[in-house]
Amino acid sequence: MLTLNVSYACSILAFLTSLYYCFYLDINGVIFKSLLAYSFFNLINTLLFYKHERLVITYNIMSLLAFIISYMLCLYGGGINSPFISFLVLIIFSGYMTNKFYGNLWMIIITISAFSLYYISVSDIEIVGNIAEESMEEFNLSFLLFLIILLGGVFGRIMNKNNEKVNQTRKELIQREEEKTVMLREIHHRVKNNLHVVNSLLRIQSRDIVDDKVEMMFKAAQSRIVAMARIHEKIYKTNNLKDIEVNDHFKLLIDDLMISYNIETQIVPNLNIDPIKISIDNLLPLSLIINELISNSLKHAFTNKKTGEITVNLKRKSDDNYELLVSDNGVGMSQEVFKAKKSTGIKLIHSFVKQLNGDIEMITDCNGTCFKIWFEDKGK
């Protein structure tokens, strides 16, 4: 763990520096005692982490001890000109590594401390230093080496090692995500194939059917299966498994329906579909709604008519709100039939609209049958 490793390093470096000051530079007063006390108490603080296991407490105590020792070293080692004043700035950085509150708090404390050191340096207040004039250069050099070892040799190396682990973890996550995407695509591909097999079985089974009503029921079931298969095929081919471009998807879906029912009336599809993307969760019920409405038009709207027109409009009304309009210019459907919900198709339409958390309205003042549906797509 980065914090614990840096804390251990600070304790060891502070202890070795105190020995260097005492036996080599003959600095054995407040500076020596402060460094020695810091190395001891900071080590205790680090070891206590394994008892309470609260890293924020360990981190804040470490910052507090570092502030006390740094201020003392500045006070007795040159005031505002002391090289140890750089440590005060590092404490601000360490505070922000905890959270914004501690970072702001330490910035205020360090700013006040810097002004106090400046005031002491320019005033008549005398602080008895422990550093001889001839030892000042060695003192400054030792601090610089202390900083280089701490930031470069310890902190920098640990950060680099952590970054390598983070990068390795990121690569593994990307690889797993790619494998997951490939697996999901393969699943959708197999589901599509299975649905096509089911559709083929139904088509073969329907060849021996004499009753037109039963045959229509088979065709309705087949159209629903093809609609679901189209979705899985679209998902398999898309690069984005979250949102699907619906324009081409709905065009193919409607073409499949017109080929499947193969009625004698010449139907002109009028499609006005915005280039929008719909989440996978909402694409299935939306596709099945269109499937049911178009199937209903193809079965009932154009009886004894040579030509007809089916219109599908899908538009985005706002960020998450959409409007779907499906209409034909056929014989029309009564409001009572729609509200009664007796047919399987009408029941399914209401069920799918409910899945979309939407609303459906049958518009009566149009030439034929017209449905308007509003829904939200918050799954994106």
Report d(CA 237, CA 310) in Å as an integer: 28
Predicted local distance difference test score (pLDDT) of residue 324: 92
Alpha helix locations (H) across 207-275? 212-237, 247-261
Predicted local distance difference test score (pLDDT) of residue 145: 78
Answer whether 352's CB lies under 8 Å from 333's CB. Answer: no
- Average pLDDT value for residue range 277-302: 86
Predicted local distance difference test score (pLDDT) of residue 112: 92
Report d(CA 286, CA 273) in Å as an integer: 13
Range of lowest pLDDT (140-149, 290-299, 364-373): 140-149
| Percentage of the chain exceeding pLDDT 70 | 89
Higher-scoring residue by pLDDT: 263, 64? 64
Is the pLDDT at 169 greater than 60? The verdict is yes
- Average pLDDT value for residue range 329-334: 85
- Average pLDDT value for residue range 355-359: 89
CA angle 150, 152, 154 (to 5 degrees): 50
Q: H or E segment at 314?
A: strand 307-316
* Residue 109, CB-side half-sphere exposure with 13 Å CA sphere: 20
- Beta strands 266-273 and 307-316, pairing class: parallel
Report d(CA 136, CA 25) in Å as an integer: 9
Mean pLDDT, rounded, of the chain: 81
Is the pLDDT at 184 greater than 80? The verdict is no
Q: With cut-offs at 50, 70 and 90, classify the pLDDT of residue 326.
A: very high
What global pTM score does this model have?
0.53
Is the pLDDT at 214 greater than 90? The verdict is no
Is the pLDDT at 216 greater than 80? The verdict is no
- Average pLDDT value for residue range 75-100: 79
User: Three-state DSSP class for 24?
Assistant: coil
**Model confidence pLDDT, tens digit, residues 109-167:** 989 998 988 888 788 676 655 566 666 677 777 777 777 776 666 666 766 777 777 78
Task: Tally Cβ neighbours within 10 Å of residue 46.
Answer: 20
- Average pLDDT value for residue range 217-241: 75
Is the pLDDT at 372 greater than 90? The verdict is yes
Is the pLDDT at 102 greater than 90? The verdict is no
User: Three-state DSSP class for 273?
Assistant: strand
**Rounded to the nearest 5°, which phi and psi values hold at 356?**
-80, -5
- Average pLDDT value for residue range 224-239: 74
How far, CA to CA in Å, does 243 sit from each of 193, 252, 323? Answer: 22, 18, 18
Predicted local distance difference test score (pLDDT) of residue 44: 93
Predicted local distance difference test score (pLDDT) of residue 371: 92
Predicted local distance difference test score (pLDDT) of residue 91: 82
Alpha helix locations (H) across the chain? 2-23, 30-52, 55-76, 85-98, 100-122, 136-148, 157-206, 212-237, 247-261, 280-296, 335-340, 344-355
Report d(CA 370, CA 327) in Å as an integer: 4
Partnered with residue 316 across adjacent β-strands are 322
DSSP tag of 124: S
Closest to 88 measured CA to CA, from 61, 106, 103:
106
* Residue 158, CB-side half-sphere exposure with 13 Å CA sphere: 14
- Write down all domains in the chain, each with its CATH number in brackets: 2-131 (no CATH), 264-380 (3.30.565.10)
Q: With cut-offs at 50, 70 and 90, classify the pLDDT of residue 192.
A: confident
